[in-house]
Amino acid sequence: MQLTIKHITHYAYDTALDYSIQRLLLTPHSFASQSVKSWQVSAPGMAQAMQYRDAFGNKVHLITSNPGSGAYDIVAEGVVEVRDVAGVVQGLSVPVPDAVFLRQTAATLPSEPMEALLQGFGSAARAALPFLHELMAATHGAIAYETGTTHAHTTGAEAFAQGRGVCQDHAHVFIGLARKAGVPARYVTGYLVADDVSPAAHAWAEALVPDLGWVGFDAANLKCPTDHYVRVACGLDAAGTAPVRGCRRGGTGEHMSVEVRVEMSQQ
């Protein structure tokens, strides 16, 4: 599948912005099942952006600007070819020992009720792959997909307690429990084109399966990523993997909106 993506993050402020610094994790990698044909990011200050790789190998742009009172856009766009390999990630170098992805963060740390979920698994689920599929189903079942019920800083445990949330929450719960069970798991951001809803920025999890490597699990949609998914960045949790994270001086009354457009074509 060839996906032509345009991801626009639009910012506007009620009062003038004196200074803005933003870290962008908006650039996908190529690997065995994903080939980035073209990609570019445009934003104020992009010409002088500092580029580097973070601890997890993500391509980072750091931009600073003083856009004043005007509204502005951060646009990531390009063409990516994806093959359906049932979520198995091959040929992608993430330069940290796998064990680092056992680290719990405030967002992933399981609560006692969450851990109780693990107790319900049958002994058939001891092997990593069946276990992870069972965990994906349990996570999916525990949190009803409902937008507006959680926010960027909601922890997995909080979303679990209220039983509602979005893809970020599903990913945090899945990751927290996988780590608790001794399986390295990481948070992944990217794009999803689904048949029944409009395309969107999306998040899911990847977990390490012995002999198979890293495999994606999208608990929100109860499936492993297909050729309708584009993988952009990974980290320990949502906060560390945010597509745009920024600080500013001035600029009260921030209005932010995100728009993702994707065109699909079979090769």
**106 lies in the binding site for other proteins (CB under 8 A):** no
**245 lies in the binding site for other proteins (CB under 8 A):** yes
Distance CA 115, CA 184 (A): 16
Binder among 102, 129, 212, 222 for other proteins (CB under 8 A): 102
Distance CA 147, CA 166 (A): 6
Angle between helix axes 167-180 and 112-119 (nearest 10 degrees) is: 70
Report the residue number, 205 or 230, with the smaller CB distance to other proteins.
205
Q: How far is the CB of 153 from other proteins (least distance, A)?
A: 9
Report the residue number, 231 or 248, with the smaller CB distance to other proteins.
248
Report the residue number, 42 or 265, with the smaller CB distance to other proteins.
42
| Per-residue binder mask for other proteins (CB under 8 A), 2-41, x = binder | -----------------x-x-x------------------
- Tell me the Ramachandran region of residue 47: left when phi exceeds 0, alpha when psi lies from -120 to 50, beta otherwise: alpha
Chain Cα centroid distance, residue 266: 25
Q: How far is the CB of 102 from other proteins (least distance, A)?
A: 5
Q: How far is the CB of 52 from other proteins (least distance, A)?
A: 4
Q: How far is the CB of 93 from other proteins (least distance, A)?
A: 11
**88 lies in the binding site for other proteins (CB under 8 A):** no
Q: What is the enclosing helix (H) or strand (E) of 156?
A: helix 156-162
**111 lies in the binding site for other proteins (CB under 8 A):** no
Q: Are 214 and 101 in contact (CB under 8 A)?
A: no
**48 lies in the binding site for other proteins (CB under 8 A):** yes
Nearest 5°: the CA angle 105, 227, 258 is 60
Q: Helix/strand/coil (H, E, C) string of 34-90?
A: EEEEEEEEECCCHHHCEEEECCCCCEEEEEEECCECCCEEEEEEEEEEECCCCCEEC
Part in contact with other proteins (CB under 8 A); list of ranges 80-88, 132-140, 195-203, 243-251: 243-251
Part in contact with other proteins (CB under 8 A); list of ranges 77-85, 92-100, 195-203, 218-226: 92-100
Q: Which amino acid is at 46?
A: M
Restricting to residues 140-159, name those near other proteins by CB under 8 A. none
Restricting to residues 217-236, name those near other proteins by CB under 8 A. 236
Binder among 36, 49, 79, 200 for other proteins (CB under 8 A): 49
In three-state secondary structure terms, 129 is: helix
Q: Which amino acid is at 178?
A: A
**45 lies in the binding site for other proteins (CB under 8 A):** yes
**52 lies in the binding site for other proteins (CB under 8 A):** yes
**Please, which residues have CB within 8 angstroms of residue 267's CB and are 6 or more apart in sequence?**
1, 2, 81
> Which parts of this chain interact with other proteins (CB under 8 A)?
19, 21, 23, 45, 48-50, 52, 54-56, 60, 62, 64, 95-97, 99-100, 102-104, 236, 239-240, 245-247
